[in-house]
Amino acid sequence: MKCISIDLETYSNINLQKSGVYKYAESEDFEILLFGYSIDGGEVTVVDLALGEKIPDAVIDALTDDSVVKWAFNSQFERICLSRYLSDMGIPLDPFHNNHPLSTECSRFLNPKSWRCTMVWSATLGLPLSLEGVGAILGLEKQKLSEGKSLIKYFCVPCVPTKANNGRTRNKPNDDMEKWKQFKAYNLRDVETEMEIQRKLSRFPVTDAIWDEYHLDQEINDNGIGVDIQFVTNAVDFDNRSKEALTVKMQELTNLDNPNSVQQMKKWLADSGIETESLGKKVLAELIQNTPPHISDILTLRGKLAKSSVKKYTAMANALCSDNRVRGMFQFYGANRTGRFAGRLVQLQNLPQNHISDLAQARGLVQSGNYTAFEMLYDDIPDTLSQLIRTAFVPQNDNKYIVADFSAIEARVIAWLAGEKWRMNAFANGEDIYCASASKMFGVPVVKHGINGQLRQKGKCAELACGYGGSVGAMKAMGADALGLSDDELKKIVMDWREASPHITDLWWSVDNCIKETIQKRNTTETHGIQFSYESGFLFITLPSGRRLAYVKPKIGINQFGGESVTYEGVGTTKKWERLESYGPKFCENIVQGIARDILVFALQTFRCCKIVAHVHDEIILECRKDVSLDVVCEQMSRTPPWADGLLLRADGYECSFYKKD
């Protein structure tokens, strides 16, 4: 046996979407119902575990044999579920004595080393992250059976007790044998579809390097991050008490039954002479600034009541495993146009920042459950709880966190890629890039809090907005409105930035020209060390690391302005598969972010022997002994990958006893 393709159908009373597979498989009533498999591409067999059939011994042995490759679509699910199954059978998960790379924390899980994921393979080619979606795009003969969702709902999740079902809370095979027969066919079809995907994508194999990155991702997910459950429980209680008080206060002021209702609130505003289509965050802020005091006060209360970021505490509690760690928060290749990781469950990528000066004191009051003092000291309880979300993550076993991140990683990468020497020199000299940019743009020295310091903010807005072809709209999105400048003045800043960075603008249009030529002529082109090729309906962009970005069915079209543009198929903002439009600067953004991602992965590999508990964009969080040196961690993280000669990196960091933004 060289490889085995696997698909499971399971039952648990835990909500998989809210809690993730690690918590899901910990449930006391977790059960594998069906085990579909194919050995070395042969005929598919379905083992009906729910009705007493047994998985063959040879297959059981293969699950713990790292020389046998295991395939599945979203293989993390199968690996974690089978880890629980084998443990319940009393079978050692690791016959070679703690072979899992993170054996201390992860000995309960099968080593990811021998697992491959068809979903990851699809993602490397810009395809959807669902089996049904990939099957539809590839036009497979044996696509996922359409009735699968209803069968999963019937057999895999608890049901509502009714008279018709004799008050049962779960449907079992004998409750509907015809449906069970269909369910087994569905399981078999899933394995066939997964194998068809492998055959269809065989022209574009995933490199060993990317599989190794995937295994590292799985190790980090297996490790998880510690949570202070007492703190989380109290934070949820504080939020509920605060919301209850805010609701009562707003009911007194507005006479509304539910002041948290958007419709009721909009009607109340309309009755007060204020029409609005939305009560979103930005609109609400504008209304607060432009309405009479008695209304703006109510809208301020409404903003506190509607604050949703505190729901992160509930998300933590939902996903918390029995050892007080949250696992499964990172999706490898979740952003498939760059290969970046995506967040799952708690979504670390969009946590609110903390700005309050007495963070430890505020956290201590929540941890101890002292609501009276908390209410007395902090006027805006939802906002304060929101700023404390990061602090719910705590190191275990008397360890500490070291948090380190790359300084201005995208600005450094694009300067290096484009050969913008003055920018590279500014980084080499340790200069503030916003001051350096403003100085270059306006031709005068700019020093933070010093000479011409007022120009730094213009430089900052331009740096954040203009690197990928952004203009006035991008400037405003990055906070330029606060500068009080007209559109003409903002346009002048954009032009000044582009004139100060001619090599970056050249990079945009060189990339644009290469991509168009590659699509039109089906040939291979290259610029700035980036290669563009066309193969079997895919545009590939090869990064300096050797990793490739993929774009499905690229074409040359006409944009809304009458000029040429590139279109390709992908998942758009509506979460649907559609034709998307792009151009040189936007492709440059994908390229730069893809390179930044590769640099992060290089750093993660450097710290593979450490306990990496999380990573966010360009930041790594290590849980380590108190004698580990912060300076050494930052020095190691600043190492330039061998494929990025000349790129100067810098990592800054700090130590903490709970996670926070320094």
The secondary structure of 550-612, three-state, reads EEEEEEEEECCCCCEEEEEEEECCCCCEEEEEECHHHHHHHHHHHHHHHHHHHHHHHCCCCEE
Q: Which residues contact 168 (CB under 8 A, 6 or more apart)?
A: 159, 161, 175
Round to whole Å and give the CA distance between 566 and 512.
Answer: 9
Instruction: Quote the pLDDT of residue 4.
Output: 98
Position 103 scores a pLDDT of 47
Which of these, 388, 358, 357, 19, lies nearest to 238 by C-alpha position? 388
Say what the pLDDT of residue 274 is: 87
pLDDT band at 97 (very low <50, low <70, confident <90, very high): very low
CB atoms under 10 Å from CB of 191, counted, come to 25
Judge whether residue 102 has pLDDT over 70: no
Q: Which residue has the tokens 């644009």?
A: 512
- Res 361: pLDDT: 96
pLDDT in tens, 471-513: 988 888 887 777 778 888 889 989 999 999 999 999 999 999 9
Burial tier of 343 (Cβ tally within 10 Å: 0-12, 13-18, 19+): middle
According to DSSP, residue 393 is labeled: B
Q: What are 578-616's pLDDT values in tens digits?
A: 999 999 999 999 999 999 999 999 999 999 988 999 999
d(CA 597, CA 595): 5
244-287 per-position pLDDT tens digit: 999 999 898 899 888 888 899 888 988 888 888 888 888 888 88
Report pLDDT for 260: 84
3-state secondary structure 443-494: CCCCCCCCCCHHHHHHHHHHHHHHCCCCCHHHHHHCCHHHHCCCHHHHHHHH
Confidence at 136, pLDDT banded by 50, 70, 90: confident
Structure tokens at 212: 């190794």
User: How do beta strands 651-656 and 400-406 pair?
Assistant: antiparallel
Tell the residue number behind the tokens 């934070």, with chain if given.
235
Q: What share of the chain is helix, strand, coil (3-state, %, to 5)?
A: 50, 15, 35
- Paired with 558 in beta bridges are 564
Q: What pTM value is reported for the model?
A: 0.92
Evaluate if residue 96 carries a pLDDT over 70.
no
pLDDT attached to residue 145: 65
Higher per-residue pLDDT: 243 or 140: 243
The pLDDT of residue 306 is above 70: yes
Q: Give CA–CA dist 162/336, Å, rounded.
A: 44
Give the pLDDT confidence score for residue 132 in this predicted structure. 86
pLDDT class for 104, splitting at 50, 70, 90? low
Using a pLDDT cut of 90, give the percent of the chain over it.
72
Do residues 596 and 618 make contact, with C-beta atoms less than 8 angstroms apart? yes
Instruction: Dihedral sign for Cα 24, 30, 36, 41, please.
Output: positive
Question: How does DSSP assign 170-185, residue by residue?
Answer: S--GGG-HHHHHHHHH
Indicate the range of 111-120, 251-260, 617-626 predicted with least confidence: 251-260
Residue with the two structure tokens 């495993």: 321
pLDDT tens per residue, range 350-403? 899 899 999 999 999 999 999 999 999 998 999 999 999 999 999 999 999 999
Q: Which helix (H) or strand (E) holds 361?
A: helix 359-368
Q: Which residues contact 375 (CB under 8 A, 6 or more apart)?
A: 242, 381
Residue 94: band (very low, low, confident or very high) from pLDDT cuts 50, 70, 90? low
Q: Is the pLDDT of residue 100 over 60?
A: no
pLDDT at 98: 47
Q: What are the pLDDT digits (tens) for 191-203?
A: 999 999 999 999 9
Residue 116: HSE in the Cβ half-sphere, 13 Å Cα cutoff: 23
Phi then psi for 135, rounded to 5 degrees? -60, -40
CA angle (500 as vertex; 448, 491 as ends), nearest 5:
90
Tens of pLDDT, residue by residue over 412-441, are 999 999 999 999 999 999 999 999 998 988
Instruction: Give mean pLDDT, residues 532-549.
Output: 97
Structure confidence at residue 315 (pLDDT): 95
How far is Cα 470 from Cα 480, in angstroms, rounded to an integer? 13
Residue 482 has a pLDDT of 74
Domains contained in the chain, CATH given = 3-206 (3.30.420.10), 421-500 (no CATH)
The pLDDT assigned to 291 comes to: 87
DSSP string, 41-101: T---EEEEGGGT----HHHHHHHT-TTSEEEETTHHHHHHHHHHHHHHTT--S-TTTS-ST
Q: Which of 510, 528, 509, 514 is nearest to 416 (CA)?
A: 528
Q: Which helix (H) or strand (E) holds 533?
A: strand 530-535
The whole-number pLDDT of residue 95 equals 46
Give the count of beta carbons closer than 10 Å to the beta carbon of residue 574.
Answer: 7
Task: Compute the mean pLDDT over every residue in the chain, rounded to the nearest whole number.
Answer: 92
Measured from the Cβ of residue 426, the count of other Cβ atoms closer than 10 Å reads: 22
